[in-house]
Amino acid sequence: MTSHGLKDISARARRWAICAAAVPLLIGALGTAYPAGPTDSGLEGCKTLSLPHGVAAADWPAIGAEFAGSQWPDLRFSGMAYVDVATELVKTHAYGGETVWFYERLATTCAKHGQPLPFYR
């Protein structure tokens, strides 16, 4: 019984087959390589809120400014709303059950733009 493997194909045909198989892979790899764009300031706010330590009261205005400068309206709106509620809670030392909704909305928006927040806060 004869085997029909790569050794039965001429060297020229083998090289052509390998090149033909490699071209789509190269095009796919090169087609998905994009230069890193500038980081959105709203995503920096998401990163700050995702750090394991809590946020100090003095840091909230800076985080709000990061969200205010976001290029994405949904991230800008969600971030600024959450920062406003959190700032008021820090000022009044109140329990903020309503912040859960604001945090979930912000976490969803941050994740949509590639920077997920933990849901344990």
Query: Which stretches of 32-112 are DSSP H helices?
Result: 41-49, 60-68, 73-92, 99-112
pTM of this structure: 0.57
The yes-or-no verdict on residue 104 having pLDDT over 70 is yes
Please give the Cα distance from 120 to 103 (Å, whole number): 10
pLDDT above 90: percentage of residues in the chain:
16
Q: How far is CA 24 from the centre of its chain?
A: 28
The confidence band for 71, taking pLDDT boundaries of 50, 70 and 90, is very high
> Taking a C-beta distance cutoff of 8 angstroms, is the pair 67, 47 a contact?
no
